[in-house]
Amino acid sequence: MNRILISVKESLLEKKIILLIFGGVIGLLSYFVVYMIEGMDLAAIEEIMAMWPEEMIEFFGDVDAFTNPYGFWALELLTFMWLYGGIYIVYMASTLLTREVEEKTIDLTLSKPITRFN
């Protein structure tokens, strides 16, 4: 477990600039969402949602999910978190081999006997 944490720590330190940029973009997007929600007509949204079947309202949430920033993030971002995680895992797995070839460490990795765990 300690090896996994060290690996995650090193990976995060390598990508600290990208993480800061991503945090800034998320912050700006959050500001835009708050600004957008302030100008919404809640009566029109309630009329539209009154026509929805009960199952859709249970799945998406009530008007509160659309009219506050936390509900918006939960609806838009967290609903697709598994998709984002899957895309990230595929991206990381696809870059592992190319990074080994570019850094010329693939020969060392292939020639060194390792245990099945490693």
Q: Which two tokens stand for residue 14?
A: 């390598």
Cα 115 from chain centre = 33
At a CB cut-off of 8 Å and minimum separation 6, what does 73 contact? Answer: 30, 33
Predicted confidence at residue 118, as pLDDT, reads: 64
CA–CA gap between residue 7 and residue 20 (Å, rounded): 19
What residue ranges in 1-118 does DSSP mark as E strands? none
55 vs 71: which has the higher pLDDT = 55
pLDDT at 107 over 80: no
What does pLDDT average to over the chain?
78
Q: In the prediction, which pLDDT does 34 show?
A: 76
pLDDT, tens digit, 9 for 90 and up, residues 60-97: 777 777 777 677 677 777 777 788 888 888 888 888 87
pLDDT for res 11: 79
The answer on pLDDT for 1 being more than 70 is no
State residue 22's pLDDT score. Answer: 86
Tell me the HSE value of 28 on the side-chain side, using a 13 A CA sphere.
6
Q: Is residue 110 pLDDT above 70, yes or no?
A: yes
